């Protein structure tokens, strides 16, 4: 078959999945929704890998109210997140982001954990997690550990997940009263990956601004955040443009992406201040 990987195994439960990964001698690839991984197989980026299918891990699917946080199972699908009442009430950024992700068929199968662990720098969910200050619950044979999102994304397609570990849940703090969360992006064609995008959260007067598609990984624009906290949008835009270094590719130049980030920030600020955009 064209998807010429070394093998496939379906995990019964988390323990089994971790054992499968452990036995794969570093060649294991966790298969969640498959919307990025199976597509990549066609391009033979991953020949020789062993797919460990975790889709049967029922504990990893669904959204739970954990008091101050929402616990979102890694296997919760994009479409489910988009319509989940807890998410819509307490983490509306994620629900809004779903409308920007690819198209219906992809949203029906793709999972938030898959998107975050894949760490595509152009993807929406990693930046959302960063803007929300999420905590990643990661399981290994030695037990669970929590990784704050700020330490999670390392580089393009690279995360703090260690060999043999599986991302099982994402915990996001519930929105505080009066908190505003918005996502803004520009794509060349409707439904495509963003040329540039950002997530802006204002919580109790403090801002978190996460950029995507402007560098090798989603990043917090800390200088811009400080300027926003000080109420100076123009300074924030200048700071943002100075602290990102976007790449040029067939879709857009780095300079244009930098410009877009500035425009998007102005629009995001207008939105959270109740403007129309």
Partner 1 sequence: MTSLSSRDTALVDAAEPRVGFTVDGKPHTLRVPPTARLSEVLREGLGIEGVKVGCDAGDCGACTVILDGEAVCACLVPAARCDGVEIVTVEGLAEAGRPGRLQEAFWRRGAAQCGICTPGMLTSAEALLRRTASPTRADVEEALAGVLCRCTGYAKIVDAVLDCAADATTAPAVGAEVGAAVGARIDRLDGRAKVMGTDAFGADAWPEGTLLVRVVRSPHHHAAFALGDLDAWRRANPGVVAVLTASDIPGRNIHGVIPPLADQPVFAERVARFRGEAVAAIVGERAAIRALDLATFPVTWSALAAVLTPDDARRPDAPLVHETRAGNVLVRGLVRRGDAEAALSDADVVVEGAYTTGFVEHAYIEPEAGFARRVGDRIEVFACTQAPHMDRDDLAAIMALPPDAVRIIPSAVGGGFGSKLDLSLQPFVALAAWVTGRPAGVVYTRPESMASTTKRHPSAITVRIGAKADGTLHAMRFEGTFNTGAYASWGPTVANRVPVHASGPYLVPHYEARTAAIHTHTVPAGAFRGFGVPQAAVAQETLLDELADALGFDRLDFRIRNALTNGAPTVTGQVFAQGVGIRACFEALVPHWRERRAAARAFNATAGGPLRRGVGVAGMWYGCGNTSMSNPSTIRAGLGPDGRLVLHQGAVDIGQGSNTVVAQIFADALGFPVGQVALVGADTDLTPDAGKTSASRQTFVTGAAALRSGAALRETLLLRLNAGPDARLSLDGTMLRADDGRRDSASLDLAGLEPDAHGFVFAAEETFDPPTSPLDANGQGEPYAAFGFGAHLAEVEVDVELGRVRVLALICAHDVGRAVNPTLIEGQIEGGSAQGLGLALMEEYIPGRTENLHDYLIPTVGDMPRVTSILVEEADAHGPFGAKGIGEQVLIPTAPAILNAIRDATGVLIRDLPATPGKVHAALAAARAAGARP
Residues in 119-178 at the binding interface with partner 1, rule: CB under 8 A: none
Q: Which residues pair with 172 in a beta bridge?
A: 70
Give least dist CB 215 to partner 1, A.
Answer: 17
Give least dist CB 6 to partner 1, A.
Answer: 7
Give least dist CB 74 to partner 1, A.
Answer: 16
For residue 271, give the 3-state DSSP assignment. Answer: helix
103 counts as binding partner 1 under rule CB under 8 A: yes
| Rounded Cα gap, residues 120 and 157, in angstroms | 5
Give least dist CB 8 to partner 1, A.
Answer: 3
For partner 1, the closer CB: 44 or 206: 44
Give per-residue burial for 147-157: e unless 16+ CB within 10 Å, then b.
bebeebbeeeb
For partner 1, the closer CB: 9 or 223: 9
190 counts as binding partner 1 under rule CB under 8 A: yes
10 counts as binding partner 1 under rule CB under 8 A: yes
Q: Which of 12, 145, 154, 206 binds partner 1 (CB under 8 A)?
A: 12
Question: 10 Å Cβ neighbour count for 266?
Answer: 18
Cα dihedral 272, 251, 255, 258, rounded to 10, equals: 20
Q: Which of 145, 154, 206, 277 binds partner 1 (CB under 8 A)?
A: 277
Q: What one-character DSSP code corresponds to residue 60?
A: G
3 counts as binding partner 1 under rule CB under 8 A: yes
Residues in 66-95 at the binding interface with partner 1, rule: CB under 8 A: 79
Ramachandran bin of 252, using left for φ above 0, alpha for ψ from -120 to 50, beta for the remaining angles: beta
Farthest-apart Cα atoms in the chain, separation: 58
| Rounded Cα gap, residues 192 and 189, in angstroms | 6
274 counts as binding partner 1 under rule CB under 8 A: no
Give least dist CB 236 to partner 1, A.
Answer: 16
**Is the C-alpha dihedral spanning 260, 263, 269, 272 positive or negative?**
negative
For partner 1, the closer CB: 10 or 203: 10
Alpha helices in 7-77 (DSSP H): 14-23, 37-42
For partner 1, the closer CB: 14 or 79: 79
Q: Rule CB under 8 A: which residues touch partner 1? A: 1-10, 12, 16, 19-20, 23-25, 31, 34-35, 38-39, 41-43, 47, 50-51, 53, 55-56, 79, 102-106, 108-109, 186, 188-193, 195, 250-253, 256, 259-260, 263, 276-277
């Amino acid at each position: 078959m064209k998807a010429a990987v070394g093998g496939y195994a379906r995990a019964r439960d988390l323990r089994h999945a971790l054992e499968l990964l452990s036995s794969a001698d570093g060649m294991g690839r966790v298969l969640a929704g498959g919307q990025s991984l199976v597509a990549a197989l066609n391009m033979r980026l991953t020949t020789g890998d062993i797919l460990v299918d975790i889709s049967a891990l029922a504990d990893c699917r669904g959204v739970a109210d954990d008091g101050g946080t929402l616990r979102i199972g890694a296997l919760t699908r994009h479409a489910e997140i988009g319509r989940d009442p807890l998410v819509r009430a307490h983490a509306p950024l994620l629900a809004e982001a779903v409308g920007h992700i690819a198209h219906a068929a992809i949203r029906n199968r793709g999972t938030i954990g898959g998107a975050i662990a894949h760490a595509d720098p152009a993807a929406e969910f990693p930046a959302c997690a960063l803007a929300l200050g999420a905590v990643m619950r990661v399981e290994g044979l030695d037990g669970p550990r929590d990784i704050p999102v700020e330490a999670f994304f390392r580089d393009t397609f690279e995360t703090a997940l260690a060999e043999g570990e599986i991302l099982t849940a994402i915990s996001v703090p519930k929105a505080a009263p009066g908190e505003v969360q918005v996502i803004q992006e520009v794509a060349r064609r409707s439904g495509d990956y963003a040329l540039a995008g950002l997530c802006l959260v204002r919580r109790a007067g403090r801002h978190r601004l996460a950029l995507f598609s402007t560098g090798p990984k989603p990043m917090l624009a800390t200088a811009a955040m400080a300027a926003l906290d000080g109420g100076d949008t123009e300074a924030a835009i200048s700071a943002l443009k100075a602290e990102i270094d976007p790449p040029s590719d067939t879709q857009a130049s780095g300079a244009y992406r930098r410009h877009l980030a500035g425009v998007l920030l102005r629009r995001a600020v207008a939105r959270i201040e109740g403007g129309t955009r």
